[in-house]
Amino acid sequence: MLSKSSPDLDALRLLEERLRWLSAWTIHNANHLRPSADGLKVGGHQASCASMTAIMAALYFHALGPNDKVAVKPHAGPVLHAVHYLLGNQSREQLEAFRGFGGAQSYPSRTKDRIPVDFSTGSVGLGVAVTAFASLVQDYLLAHAMMKPEEAGRMVALMGDAELDEGNIYECLIEAYKHDIRNCWWIVDYNRQSLDATTAERMFRRFDDIFAACGWRVVTLKYGKALEAAFAERGGEALKRWIDDCPNADYAALTYLGGAAWRERLAKDAPETKPLLDARDDEALAALMTNLAGHDMASLVEAFDAAQDDVPTLFIAYTIKGYGLPFAGHKDNHAGLMNPGQIAALRDRMGIAEGEEWEPWAGLGGNSAEAVRSLAESSRIAQAKRERPWNQVEVPAVPVPAGEEQSTQAAFGRILLDLSRAGGPLADRIVTTSPDVTVSTNLGAWVNQRGLFRRQELADVFAAAKIPSAQKWGGHEAGQHIELGIAENNLFLMLAALGLAGDLFGTRLFPIGTVYDPFIARGLDALNYACYQDARFLLVATPSGVTLGPEGGAHQSINPPLIALGQPGLRHYEPAFADELALMMEEAFRLLQAPGGESVYLRLTTRTLRQVEREDDAWKSGALAGGYWLRDPAPGSEAALVYSGAVAPEALAAWEALKDDVPGLGLLAVTSPDLLHRGWTERQRVRWKAPPRDGEGAHAKHGGGGPSHVERLLAPLAPTAGFVTLIDAAPASLSWLGGVLGHKVSPLGIERFGQTGSLDDLYREYRLDADAIVEAAAELFLP
């Protein structure tokens, strides 16, 4: 263990000061020095940064190993940039452009920042929880010998205490406990302030209980070494008692007011502390009272060194928001910025000359500078192997399940079963996961084949007792299905972590998550979070829409296709037939590992449909690009029917009914409203000659130089033509198609909550049946 006088600690303290300075200066520069054309406040969080510079110095320059991965509290992003600036991984230009176009990001971003960022953060709580799921993924890879034990590391979350209010933390804790996760540290910057004010003390000690109940070791880092020494002095016990009883708001306010205020208050509330007060001037008293362990290097290093086993550990590090800055402790300091006079005073206090603000080691004497630099350079994180190449897996042709009548959900289960039986590298890299809907989304056959993943053997009690069941339910290390509890938010965090396995651990996995379509909404922010950091996964949502019939209104999804239209990084396909689904799954496996690829969302149904006969494969490229003519329109046709997914039979029936009265009537199958829309807007972007936006390279091929796919599809129709659109979802999912070439549209779809009933009842009630289509068409096409 390191002692207080160890030179390492002194160097770490200097590094801490440097992080505090550079993070404050980066934010100051962006707000006060960089020219602002629009007069907007740039922002940044100097107080939130200062709150955890000691924690981050101890972590990055001492505790972290080369395989450890960290999710950094979003508003401490500038500290992470400062760490990498000191390590030589970050440029001054990027720091100068902090929060500017193309500069260092406000919140750490895996995809946009130029420094190594293990997990993006921003939406509080999610970046914390994803580390627990990453620990589970690491265990999965170790168990499957897809990663060497010596490459394993610790998954670390640096979190604000307000993040402990997010429900997703507790959903995650429960799931993590069930899976017995290891090698995970969560370090709470326990400054007892959130954005608006100080936080409620009624939660004191409650967090400890909750985490301990879920199998975590809780390490509370409350008093720094100076305070602990003071407790041994005369009056020390009274001081400790007073601190322990002090409400958060009072402690924060006194911190802000400083030494004289502490003295007055302690003299009044705890007169026994007089000897302690008499022995210190105001400045020393203020330093003592803010010597919380989260700012005390010796305490931090000691605590991290003492937790070197694999037990998941919560460190509650007491801190002061804005530590060492003029607004330390002020309840409004969350977005507070030092004014030019205050930053100049801080610079002088740090011994940094004017004009040398960006110099990494400015103001340090020769010996100190050398010690600090060598500590930084020798830190294990400095030698991290950050870029890990990984192999691509060959994607075999995905055969179409046989059967004249089948649903896309049944076909999905069948395809996975066939893939499993055929074996091979792709099947071995598939990991399925589901929030308690494994059986009802048709993953059962796959799970029977491949088993549940469990680090400890899980006996299949029913099978052992010879109780008949179609479903095997035994778990072992080789299993390839991760069964989750019902909390859908965890599904998306699980998919995020699985979908980053390549970047984090050097092995690409092919994660497939299944969920009921309406409950996507339950995990929407986590889904967005997964896409934002370019995790790759296949999301299979089934059943969907009112087509699930008697299941009723509470389970009927209406808006997921609109969600998909607005979600970058997620490609929506809505197949009607098994051959479309097979094609899309094959494409998805390619996309999941393609450098410019993305995740895929398949919206499926339990409705059994008579399959269409194909004359050739010409439909396939269109189906992958978002749509194809199931019945070609005549050139110059005045009319078409347009449908997506499960309502194909109604569209076909209406087409049969109308084709004689409306010559040249086309029938367009839209397999992806999402892709058609993207292609259309991409084309506009090309016309405007704007460069592709960040992360959208994959879509460029749908626009390119020529007309987009949707423009080509609609081109045969007469400019005066009209079409009816039909989808078991919000009609706006397709109605926009009229805007592409200016056609008239009559949109059909679901706009009200559903109810129970047979398909006939429901399609009649919600106007999805052939009669409704014919009526809508009559309005459009007939004079």
When binding is defined by CB under 5 A, the residue of 109, 193, 507, 672 that contacts Mg ion is 193
Sketch the per residue contact string, 277 through 306, with Mg ion: x for CB under 5 A, - otherwise. Answer: ------------------------------
Residues 6+ apart with CB under 8 A from 71: 118, 119, 121, 127, 128, 130, 131, 155, 156, 157, 158, 159
Rounded Cα distance between 47 and 402, Å, is 63
Rounded Cα distance between 644 and 627, Å, is 9
Q: Which range in 189-197, 368-376, 433-441, 657-665 contacts ligand TPP by CB under 6 A?
A: 189-197
User: Min. distance of Cβ 291 from Mg ion in angstroms?
Assistant: 19
User: Min. distance of Cβ 591 from Mg ion in angstroms?
Assistant: 39
Q: Could you say which of ligand TPP, Mg ion, none residue 163 binds, taking C-beta under 5 to 8 angstroms by partner kind?
A: ligand TPP
User: Min. distance of Cβ 760 from ligand TPP in angstroms?
Assistant: 44
Taking each helix axis as running N to C, give the angle between helix 7-28 and helix 77-86, from 0 to 180 degrees, rounded to the nearest 10. 120
Of the two residues 12 and 55, which places its CB atom closer to ligand TPP in the complex?
55
Q: Which range in 190-198, 401-409, 507-515, 740-748 contacts ligand TPP by CB under 6 A?
A: 190-198
Token representation of residue 169: 């933390």
Q: Which range in 187-195, 341-349, 429-437, 502-510 contacts ligand TPP by CB under 6 A?
A: 187-195
User: Min. distance of Cβ 195 from ligand TPP in angstroms?
Assistant: 4
When binding is defined by CB under 6 A, the residue of 16, 68, 139, 163 that contacts ligand TPP is 163
Rounded Cα distance between 69 and 127, Å, is 12
When binding is defined by CB under 5 A, the residue of 160, 363, 401, 543 that contacts Mg ion is 160
Q: With helix as H, strand as E and coil as C, how does 588-639 read?
A: HHHHHHCCCCCEEEEECCCCCEECCCCCCCCHHHHHHHCEEEEECCCCCEEE
When binding is defined by CB under 6 A, the residue of 87, 115, 141, 162 that contacts ligand TPP is 162
Q: Which pairs with CB-CB distance under 8 Å and at least 24 residues apart come from 37-41? A: none
Token representation of residue 306: 């003492």
Of the two residues 162 and 443, which places its CB atom closer to Mg ion in the complex?
162
Q: Give the type of residue at 359.
A: E
Rounded Cα distance between 43 and 29, Å, is 11
When binding is defined by CB under 5 A, the residue of 31, 53, 105, 191 that contacts Mg ion is 191
Of the two residues 193 and 605, which places its CB atom closer to Mg ion in the complex?
193
Site for ligand TPP in 51-90 (CB under 6 A): 51, 74-75
CB 184 within 8 A of CB 176: yes
Q: Could you say which of Mg ion, ligand TPP, none residue 671 binds, taking C-beta under 5 to 8 angstroms by partner kind?
A: none
User: Min. distance of Cβ 20 from ligand TPP in angstroms?
Assistant: 14
Q: Is 191 one of the binding residues for ligand TPP (CB under 6 A)?
A: yes
Give CA angle at 88 (83, 93), nearest 5°: 90
Other CB atoms within 10 Å distance of the CB of residue 266: 23
Helices assigned H by DSSP within 32-102: 46-51, 53-58, 77-86, 92-96
Of the two residues 336 and 695, which places its CB atom closer to ligand TPP in the complex?
336
Q: Is 99 one of the binding residues for ligand TPP (CB under 6 A)?
A: no
Site for ligand TPP in 204-243 (CB under 6 A): none
Rounded Cα distance between 539 and 43, Å, is 36
Of the two residues 48 and 599, which places its CB atom closer to ligand TPP in the complex?
48
Q: Which range in 188-196, 454-462, 679-687, 757-765 contacts ligand TPP by CB under 6 A?
A: 188-196
Of the two residues 123 and 608, which places its CB atom closer to ligand TPP in the complex?
123
Give CA angle at 242 (241, 245), nearest 5°: 85
CA torsion sign for 584, 587, 588, 589 is: positive
CB 42 within 8 A of CB 30: yes
Question: How many whole angstroms from its chain centre is CA 114?
Answer: 19
CB 699 within 8 A of CB 710: no
User: Min. distance of Cβ 122 from ligand TPP in angstroms?
Assistant: 6
Residues 6+ apart with CB under 8 A from 54: 16, 294, 295, 296, 297, 300, 319, 323
Of the two residues 185 and 619, which places its CB atom closer to ligand TPP in the complex?
185
Rounded Cα distance between 323 and 634, Å, is 73
Q: Could you say which of Mg ion, ligand TPP, none residue 579 binds, taking C-beta under 5 to 8 angstroms by partner kind?
A: none
Q: Is 575 one of the binding residues for Mg ion (CB under 5 A)?
A: no
Q: Could you say which of Mg ion, ligand TPP, none residue 124 binds, taking C-beta under 5 to 8 angstroms by partner kind?
A: ligand TPP
CB 312 within 8 A of CB 287: no
Site for ligand TPP in 118-137 (CB under 6 A): 123-124
Sketch the per residue contact string, 297 through 326, with ligand TPP: x for CB under 6 A, - otherwise. Answer: ------------------------x-----
Q: Is 48 one of the binding residues for ligand TPP (CB under 6 A)?
A: yes
Helices assigned H by DSSP within 335-396: 340-349, 366-378
Q: Is 161 one of the binding residues for Mg ion (CB under 5 A)?
A: yes
Of the two residues 106 and 644, which places its CB atom closer to ligand TPP in the complex?
106
User: Min. distance of Cβ 324 from Mg ion in angstroms?
Assistant: 16
Q: Give the type of residue at 345.
A: A
Where does this chain bind ligand TPP (CB under 6 A)?
Answer: 48, 51, 74-75, 123-124, 160-163, 189, 191, 193-195, 321, 334
Where does this chain bind Mg ion (CB under 5 A)?
Answer: 160-161, 191, 193
